[in-house]
Homo-oligomer: A and B are copies of this chain.
Amino acid sequence: MSAAAPRLEFWFEFASTYSYLSALRIEAMAAERGVGVVWRPFLLGPIFASQGWDTSPFAIYPAKGRYMWRDMERLTAARGLPFKGPTRFPQHSLRAARVALAALDTPQGPAFCKAIYSLGFGEGVDISEPDVIAQALKTADLPTKLVEAGDDPMIKERLKAQTARAVDLGLFGAPSFTVGAELFWGDDRLEMALEHAMEGAE
């Protein structure tokens, strides 16, 4: 092992169903392997827009969408996770993503992100509502006034910059994992991404 501890960046979008799967398992898996995780909320909206899509591909392509819901049902059942599709899909994730950036400046950040996912896809609640975001902050032992980060110009700029960096790294979907410049896409690649982080640190 070199002096550098293995590290992986976890790129997620609160509107992304498959990101829910990774958010709920990444900490235990990374800890087992001694890999540090940096949580990176970003927005898929601007990336999809640059591809000519005005919403999620699961909403645009019905066969792909129908499959995704069934696939999520099977995967959450196999992992013992609650799952309830939200009334509105895709969820409006902008405010939650901004608050996550602020929350991630504290050690409770990952707990907040997991709470948002559990509300959005475990219970099917509308995560754009400030009250719902406040509930997730409470779950994570964070002050509910952090909801105001959703209106903070500095945080807005940081989220834009983080999304721009995601594009520079070649991201086109979520969840994604990066280890340096190496990109892994999808919850199915989490194991491989962690292996890669471990090898790079040897």
Residues on A facing B (Cβ under 8 Å): 51, 61, 63-64, 66-67, 70-71, 74, 78, 167, 170-173, 183-186, 188-189, 192
- Could you say which residues of chain B place their CB within 8 Å of the CB of A71? 184-185, 189
Q: Kindly provide the distance from the CB of A71 to the nearest chain B CB, expressed in whole angstroms.
A: 7
Q: Of B74, B171, B172, which one neighbours A192 at CB under 8 angstroms?
A: B74
Tell me whether A70 and B172 are in contact in the complex, defined as CB-CB below 8 angstroms, given that A51-B61, A61-B51, A188-B188 are known contacts.
no
Question: By the criterion CB–CB under 8 Å, are B192 and A67 in contact?
Answer: no
- Could you say which residues of chain B place their CB within 8 Å of the CB of A188? 186, 188
Q: Of B63, B78, B167, which one neighbours A172 at CB under 8 angstroms?
A: B63
Q: Kindly provide the distance from the CB of A182 to the nearest chain B CB, expressed in whole angstroms.
A: 8
Question: By the criterion CB–CB under 8 Å, are B74 and A171 in contact?
Answer: no
A-B contact list, 12 entries, CB within 8 Å: A61-B172, A63-B167, A63-B171, A63-B172, A66-B170, A67-B172, A67-B183, A70-B183, A71-B184, A74-B192, A78-B192, A188-B188
- Could you say which residues of chain B place their CB within 8 Å of the CB of A172? 61, 63-64, 67
Distance of A51 Cα from B71 Cα, bound (Å): 21
Question: Which residue of chain B is the closest to A195 with respect to CB atoms?
Answer: B78
Distance of A183 Cα from B123 Cα, bound (Å): 25
- Could you say which residues of chain B place their CB within 8 Å of the CB of A171? 63
- Could you say which residues of chain B place their CB within 8 Å of the CB of A185? 67, 71
